[in-house]
Structures are given as C-alpha cells and as structure tokens.
Amino acid sequence: MIEDIKKDAKARMDKSLKALAGNFNKIRTGRAHPSILDGIHVSYYGADMPLSQVANINVEDARTLAVTPWEKNMVPEIEKAIMKSDLGLNPSTAGAVIRIPMPMLTEETRKNFIRQARGEAENARVSIRSVRRDTLAEIKALLKEKEISEDDERRAGDEIQKITDKHVAEVDQALAEKEKDLMEI
C-alpha cells in the first residue's frame, strides 16, 4: 500500500520534471533548435495543427532553422503563424523553404530569459513539494485508519522526503544547465 503511494508520488514528480524540460525548450537560446517552434500551431484546412505536423523543421546551421511545408500553399500560413508567435522571430521565404534566423541575444534579453527560467524552475519545485504534501496526507490518513503503524508512517515520510530532495536537486541541475546555455555567446 505504501509502495503504491510512493510509486504514484515519484511518477507525479517525474511529470513535473518533464513539464519543466518542455518549458525550458520554449525559452530560446542563441542557437537554433527545432523544439523552439513546438508551441506554434497553423491553420490547416480549418483545423489547428502543430507546425511539426504540417512541415519538416531542420537546423540549417547554428543560427538558422529551415521549415519546409509538405504543401506549397501552406507557406504563407506558416510564415504568418511564426510571426504571430511571441518568440520574436522573423522568417524569410525562398520558394517553398522558410528560413528562420535566430537573432543574437542581447545582455538584457539573456537576463530576462534567465529570470523566466528561474520562474519555471520555482514552479516545478512548488509542484514537487505539493506532491509531497499530498502524499504525506495520504500516509497520515492510513495511520489514522490504523492501516499502518507509526513506524511505517515515519519511515514512509522519510522515503518521500528523499524522493522529493532528489527531484528538487534535478530541477536545480536543469536550471544551472539552462542558465549556462543562455549565458554562452
């Protein structure tokens, strides 16, 4: 019973880490990476589709992405969607290929991105801690129902804390890597 609760807590904390990684991918660095465009949706025959499902996205060089739509008539739609996104990218079209140069990051934008990354990391920590709180409440409820002993409750609480500490350390490590990545020129 306690093992199931611990597995559930670990799985929920892992989801928080996965969400953090996805949010970090949306914070762009100076380098081109296809995941930067993950949040962009394009109107495709009346349905909103992710850009990756209507076009190939390739890294041309360290600072340029190349988007090749599968249908030539999608070029203006894709270009419009990229410009409307809040990424600050200016695509240029050459025939059926849309090239997206990554602008150089100024010191101010780097600091803003670092601030944003720290906020995302703090949200992940809060999420992990709330999973811990919920899990400890479940264990206390089992103790109250006399389904487990006080020793089992204390032992489970210590193990949940270890799992929480491990996940928070992973968040801190991911944040440090993102900050290092952002400060690279």
CATH number at residue 95: 3.30.1360.40
Q: What is the C-alpha to C-alpha distance for residues 120 and 79, in angstroms, rounded to an integer?
A: 28
Q: Is residue 86 domain-shared with residue 143, that is, in the same domain?
A: no
Domain region containing 146:
2-26+106-183
pLDDT for res 113:
86
Task: Give SS3 for 44.
Answer: strand
The per-residue pLDDT for range 116-148, each reduced to its tens digit, is 899 999 999 999 999 999 999 999 988 888 888
The per-residue pLDDT for range 95-118, each reduced to its tens digit, is 888 888 887 778 888 888 889 899
Which of 53, 82, 101 is at the close of a domain?
A: 101
Q: Is residue 92 domain-shared with residue 151, that is, in the same domain?
A: no
Q: Is residue 85 domain-shared with residue 142, that is, in the same domain?
A: no
Partners of residue 57 on adjacent β-strands: 67
Which of 72, 101, 130 is at the close of a domain?
A: 101
Q: Is residue 59 domain-shared with residue 114, that is, in the same domain?
A: no
The per-residue pLDDT for range 35-74, each reduced to its tens digit, is 778 778 888 888 888 888 888 888 888 788 898 898 888 8
Which of 101, 126, 152 is at the close of a domain?
A: 101
Q: What percent of the chain has pLDDT over 90?
A: 31
pLDDT for res 39:
79
Q: Is residue 110 domain-shared with residue 174, that is, in the same domain?
A: yes
Q: What is the C-alpha to C-alpha distance for residues 17 and 15, in angstroms, rounded to an integer?
A: 5
> What would the mean pLDDT of 30-39 be, rounded to a whole number?
76
Q: Is residue 76 domain-shared with residue 141, that is, in the same domain?
A: no
pLDDT of 172 above 90: yes
pLDDT for res 185:
61
pLDDT for res 30:
66
pLDDT for res 27:
76
pLDDT for res 121:
93
pLDDT for res 181:
82
Mean pLDDT of the chain: 87
pLDDT for res 34:
80
pLDDT for res 122:
95
How do the residues of the chain divide into helix, strand and coil, expressed in percent and rounded to 5? Answer: 65, 15, 20
Partners of residue 50 on adjacent β-strands: 41
CATH number of domain containing 13: 1.10.132.20
Distance of CA 61 to the CA centre of its chain: 24
Q: What is the C-alpha to C-alpha distance for residues 117 and 138, in angstroms, rounded to an integer?
A: 32
Q: How many domains, in total, are found in the chain?
A: 2
Q: CA dist 91 to 18, 36, 65, 73, 147, Å?
A: 29, 13, 9, 16, 62
